[in-house]
Amino acid sequence: MRGPHNIIRLIRTGATLERTGAMKVIMDAFDAGPLLRGVVRGIVWPFQWLGYKGDPTAPPAPRALTALGPAYIKFGQILSTRPDVVGDDLAVQLRVLQDKLPPFSIAEAKAEVQRELGVSVETVFSSFSEPVAAASLAQVHKATLIETGESVAVKILRPGIERAFGRDIDAFYFAARMIEVLSPASRRLHPMEVITHFEGVVMGELDLRLESAAAAEFQANTVKDEKFKVPSIRWHLSSRRVMTLDWVEGIGAGDNAALDAAGVDRPALAARILQLFLNHALRDGYFHGDMHQGNLKVAPDGTVIAYDFGIMGRIDEYTRRVYAEILFGFIRRDYQRVAEVHFEAGYVPAHMNVDDFARALRAVGEPIFGMDASRISMARLLAYLFEVTERFGMETRTELIHLQRTMVVVEGVARSLDPHMNIWQVAQPIVTDYVSKSIGPRALLNDLRKTALVLARFGPQLPRLAEEALIRLNNPPPPPRPQRRRARLAWMALGGVIVGAAWFIQGLV
């Protein structure tokens, strides 16, 4: 990590926010006090000349984040789904970061197809449109196959995106290290591990072969899901920087006016999107990890169409059961059981008091029940939940970061469709069904069946393993040398080296 380079990069970040006017917008959105505003402005104002100018025609926040680079754009995409956290005005501004960024030229796109696929665009496609969507890492063109006449979507990575993203990640690592050094209390959140996780996820998104494989697996898992569709991959026209898949028409999930005009039941659509995500996470352990409005379309019959499979999440079966039992406990308002599950899974240190933790969880959960979403301040709720986790010494679990982040994004999408949706009421049937199948007699029998299959697979090796164990039991290895003698010999050897070096130096003098 290049320290001086990253210091300049972080200063330029603050300077860009100040120069574009985004700093004030962000401070207003988070209702920052005068002291914080004064301190931040005092630090960044003298350096604002270092900030990027950006596109003067764009709103302040998208203007700043677009100028700063792809990693910052990704951050803005997440915030765009949380109007309850950042406010409606800022959320609307940030929504253009999802698929309305400045595109690169069609000539560059065709050249990239030529390099990656080894054939010219004119050889494969009878038509190849201007960009129909441009996001932080790639853009999409609509094309028609010469061979079949079918419409397809061609996704192409931005030129030089790998280098640009690497520069941003380098600065993030530096910032995480400074946070750990300057704020020891933050170490329980593992800032460095969080950035490492984020880097791994997005670097995977920069290889479209992996995205093609993820789309194929996701399609196989969800093929029976009612009113949910994953476009098929055209493998012979896909590579590391180019991906081709079926074209499917639909209305953007963020275009409420168009959805209303098409007669789509938005509250029902909001509930279905949230329930689909929970089904994929709990049932399959494999879920779309970037389900913002820009990656979802709605067909005329209400079918949800998913795109952009560069970021996918996977959780093992044990973690799924723990997560489901925690959700189930919240739904039943059984905070004692929720607290016990946290302790059983090792999420909370054993020396903490389970009753005190249950009482703290009740303070988090109770405001949700009996209230519609418009009356709940998610920002205050998250702030209090963070305070609870800090008080009870809970450490960040990197394997759950992606699940938690996606849950926040999906809830934001659903709330943008139905501001009065209650996440717990919508989640109840899915979580209850999963718990009934994964916890209880049926689940125990399934676990025993899986155990028997594993033992059967190793059956031919069991006699050999038993014989080796008996041989080791009857012929124990010789006891190791006493540690004290080994240490004494090491010190004698070191002393000999020092004396020899002293004599050698004296002889040179």
Position 3 pLDDT exceeds 60 = no
pLDDT-based confidence at residue 416 (cuts at 50, 70, 90):
confident
Domain ranges of the chain: 3-97, 99-247, 249-453
Distance (Å, whole) CA 425 – CA 440: 23
Q: What is the structure's pLDDT at 47?
A: 76
Summary mean pLDDT of the chain: 79
Look-up of token digits 């920069």: 206
Helices and strands in the chain, H and E counts: 23, 10
383: number of Cβ within 10 Å: 10
Q: Which of 168, 225, 290, 418 is catalytic?
A: 290
Q: Helical H runs in 345-440?
A: 354-365, 378-391, 398-417, 423-438
CA-based nearest residue to 273, from 424, 414, 426, 406: 414
Q: Is the pTM of this model over 0.95?
A: no
In tens, the pLDDT along 201-255 reads 677 778 999 999 999 999 999 999 999 999 999 999 999 999 999 999 899 998 8
DSSP 157: E
Distance (Å, whole) CA 505 – CA 509: 6
pLDDT-based confidence at residue 401 (cuts at 50, 70, 90):
low
CA distances from 507 to 494, 500, 501, 504 (A): 20, 11, 10, 5
CB 398, CB 190: distance < 8 Å: yes
* Residue 250 burial (10 A CB sphere; 0-12, 13-18, 19+): middle
Rounded to 5 degrees, what angle do the CA atoms 11, 17, 23 make? 120
Q: Is 290 a catalytic residue?
A: yes
Position 8 pLDDT exceeds 90 = no
Position 503 pLDDT exceeds 50 = no
Better pLDDT: 500 or 288: 288
451: number of Cβ within 10 Å: 10
Distance (Å, whole) CA 265 – CA 246: 26
Position 34 pLDDT exceeds 70 = yes
Q: What is the structure's pLDDT at 499?
A: 45
CA dihedral 239, 285, 84, 415 (to 10 degrees): 90
For a pLDDT cut of 90, what percent of the chain falls above it? 24
In tens, the pLDDT along 350-366 reads 888 999 988 988 887 77
* Residue 486 burial (10 A CB sphere; 0-12, 13-18, 19+): exposed
Q: What is the structure's pLDDT at 189?
A: 56
In tens, the pLDDT along 118-154 reads 999 999 999 999 999 887 788 999 999 999 999 999 9
338: number of Cβ within 10 Å: 23
For a pLDDT cut of 70, what percent of the chain falls above it? 77
pLDDT-based confidence at residue 161 (cuts at 50, 70, 90):
confident
Half-sphere exposure for 259 (CA within 13 Å, toward CB):
22
In tens, the pLDDT along 423-482 reads 778 888 888 888 777 766 666 677 677 777 776 777 777 777 777 777 877 777 766 555
pLDDT-based confidence at residue 421 (cuts at 50, 70, 90):
confident
Question: Averaged over 380-387, what is the pLDDT?
Answer: 58
